[in-house]
């Protein structure tokens, strides 16, 4: 698994600025978006952290790692959206 802070990366769902992206097993890419993921209880503390900090502070590594694990663990329970669903979500942001 590879996790990156998304400095200038845009959300594929809403075109908003992302907090981070993760590649799971090289097969699935997920993005943490303040707009799209705000209602996700597994993402809320991680979103709050990135709202207060642009990057992970050295003293917070353990806590952020725990929050990442909680959020990413919740994603494995969800099926990956189909390409059609992803395209529809993308187009809905353009209207």
Which tens digits make up the pLDDT trace of 27-85? 778 889 999 999 999 999 999 999 999 888 999 999 999 999 899 888 766 666 677 76
Pick the more confident residue, 6 or 19.
Answer: 19
Pick the more confident residue, 92 or 10.
Answer: 10
Q: What is the pLDDT of residue 43?
A: 94
Confidence (pTM): 0.72
Q: Residue 7 contacts by C-beta under 8 Å, 6 or more apart in sequence?
A: none
Cα 93 to Cα 20: distance, rounded to the nearest angstrom: 20
């Amino acid at each position: 698994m590879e996790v990156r802070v998304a400095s200038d990366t845009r959300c594929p769902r809403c075109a908003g600025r992302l907090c981070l992206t993760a590649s799971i097993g090289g097969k699935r890419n997920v993005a943490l978006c303040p707009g799209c993921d705000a209602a996700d209880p597994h993402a809320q503390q991680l979103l709050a952290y990135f709202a207060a900090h642009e990057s992970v502070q050295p003293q917070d590594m353990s806590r952020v790692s725990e929050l990442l694990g909680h959020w990413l663990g919740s994603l494995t329970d969800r099926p990956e959206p189909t390409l059609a669903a992803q395209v529809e979500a993308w187009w809905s942001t353009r209207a």
